[in-house]
Amino acid sequence: MATLGGMDYVSALVPPFVMAAFFIALVVTIVKSQGGSNKSKEDAAVDAVIARAEAARQQQN
């Protein structure tokens, strides 16, 4: 049976912990960017896209 030395355990565990830390930071950034002052800009952009799509649909009819 193969055994790992002490440093092998560390080198095996570091990548998952680093990836988990980056993922948590990404989720926190996404959650913080929702709402607030950016919300009105995001809503306006979505409304503009919907209005443009609705206008194009009405022109086809």
pLDDT for 8 equals: 82
Check residues 60 and 48 and name the one with the higher pLDDT.
48
Q: Over the stretch 1-44, which tens digit does the pLDDT of each residue have?
A: 456 566 787 888 888 999 999 999 999 988 887 777 767 777 88
Long-range Cβ pairs for the range 50-59 (8 Å, 24+)? none
pLDDT for 22 equals: 95
4 neighbors 12 (Cβ within 8 angstroms): yes
Mean pLDDT of 33-57: 83
pLDDT for 1 equals: 44
pLDDT for 6 equals: 67
